[in-house]
Homo-oligomer: A and B are copies of this chain.
Amino acid sequence: MTVKAQFDHTNCEGCPIRHRAVCAHCDTDELEELEGIKYYRSFEAGQTIIWSGDQMSFVGSVVSGIASLTQTMEDGRTQMVGLLLPSDFVGRPGRETAPYDVQATTDVVMCCFRKKPFEDLMNSTPHIAHRLLQMTLDELDAAREWMLVLGRKTAREKIASLLSIIARRDASVSQKAQSGPIVFDLPLTREAMADYLGLTLETVSRQISALKRDSVILLEGKRHVTIPDMARLMDEAGDDSDGGFLV
């Protein structure tokens, strides 16, 4: 099996289940079918992976790095509408054109599938369709959770919400216990955070400074964050439940 040789299983350490379901080298059942329709692509930070309105020629998963979905108005106001972390899926089976820009926020490696063969595979393999439905429902929940953040939360609550999402996501990927301080590096610039939160970068900076002053977070440099008390942060975020929303 050339595919197996080319994309060895070791490429995919820690590959989570969301990825596994649609990724050739993690789902050995599908290796035969996927031969030749799968390939890797790399993108540099800042590069646009897909332009809004473009024909989409592939679907795929983020293997490493962070990509974002953004919408831009004529006058330049932009809103990030989704954050794609490793294992997240990109693409709309059944759709011709992309509804928003996909941008590489950091350097990104994607595991791509040519769209048409992937769709054929999906049509003939019910469990892929089901998996995709579950993933889409997860994304829909995350989008709606985020609507509450955008529509009703204060700047401070917005920042706390974003930090707790990143922290939780980070913690779950690295399988750490949830107790004790959480440490991570912010993968986003202040501007990217602002675009995600519907704020300006100045407000983001001010609120991060305020959270630091109030010891809700500790900062080393500009990006290295320690959260001494996750419950405190969640409280600042105004989350009623401890509920796991997923981005």
Contacts and interface: CB of A to CB of B under 8 A. Distances in A.
Contacts of A99: 141, 144
A136 interface: yes
Interface stretch (A43-51, A104-112, A127-135, A179-187): A127-135
A65 to B, nearest CB: 21
A204 to B, nearest CB: 13
A205 interface: no
A100 B144 contact: yes
A210 B148 CA distance: 27
Contacts of A217: none
Contacts of A100: 144
A79 B126 contact: no
Interface of A: 69, 71-75, 77-79, 81-82, 92-95, 99-100, 123, 126, 129-130, 132-134, 136-137, 139-141, 143-148, 150-152, 197-198, 238, 240
Closest 7 CB pairs of A and B: A151-B198, A81-B144, A150-B150, A143-B143, A79-B148, A79-B151, A77-B152
